[in-house]
Structures are given as C-alpha cells and as structure tokens.
Amino acid sequence: MLEEQKEGKNFLPRLAEGFKASDMRLSEPDDFKRTLKKGKKIRSECFELFFKENELDHSRFGVNIAKRLVGKSTERNKIKRAAREIFRKSKKCNMDIVLLLRRASEKNKYKEEIEALFKKIET
C-alpha cells in the first residue's frame, strides 16, 4: 500500500502530465451549437455524431442523452461513460465531437453503435 493510503489521506491516482478530464469535455453551449451547425454528421440507428475540427491541441467531446428517451439516470450515465471511454481510446486530434441519442434501443447495442461511429470519423 502507498503511504497516503496508510495514513488515511485522500488518495487520487496521478494522471498524465498536464492532462485534465475537464479539458476533454465540451461544456459551453456555444461550442455545442457551433459543432452541430458547422460540423459533419454521421448517423446510425440510434445516434447522430457531429464532428468539427477545432483550433486547440486536443479534442473535446460532448454527449446529450434525452431523459424522455432513456428514463433512468443510471442507464443514461452508463451510456455516457461508455461513450467517453470510447472517445478517450479513439485518440482523435483537434476535434470537437458531439454525440446525440435520437432513438432508444436495446441496452447492449449502444456501445457497439458508438464504436462503429467513431471508426467512421475521418482523421
């Protein structure tokens, strides 16, 4: 065990130098709007994925899952976590990406569809 854990201090794993999870997220409404209006669109059965190049040295990702489509917050959050993990592993550079859920489907199908959409993005 690490010394911090033995002493009962709060322990957080170290992330890569200069990396913050908040840097990966699209958080401003204007960024979402810009990506939706000016970006390219890819569709699947349940999702729409919009992407647009940005001027930053890293990519950002935003997810929108409507409560009316997936009622339980735990299910919405599972989809969001899966989407963020796929985004993190995809290593797309200098892009703003927005994922929208348009139609509800089987629970197990979401992750496969998101992976397929990310493979279609041009680099």
| Helix residue ranges per DSSP H, 52-96 | 73-90
Q: At what angle do helices 109-120 and 73-90 cross, to 10 degrees?
A: 30
Report how far residue 70's alpha carbon sits from residue 58's, in angstroms, rounded to the nearest whole number: 30
The residue extents of the domains of the chain are: 23-120
One-letter identity of residue 82: A
**Each residue's pLDDT expressed in tens, for the chain with a length of 123 residues:** 455 555 554 444 444 445 567 777 888 888 889 999 999 999 998 899 999 998 888 889 999 998 898 888 998 899 999 999 998 888 778 889 999 998 887 766 888 888 999 898 865
Does pTM surpass 0.75?
yes
Which fold, 23-120? Ribosomal Protein S5; domain 2 (3.30.230)
Tokens matching residue 6: 């033995």
Which residue in 19, 89, 90 sits closest to 57, CA to CA?
A: 19
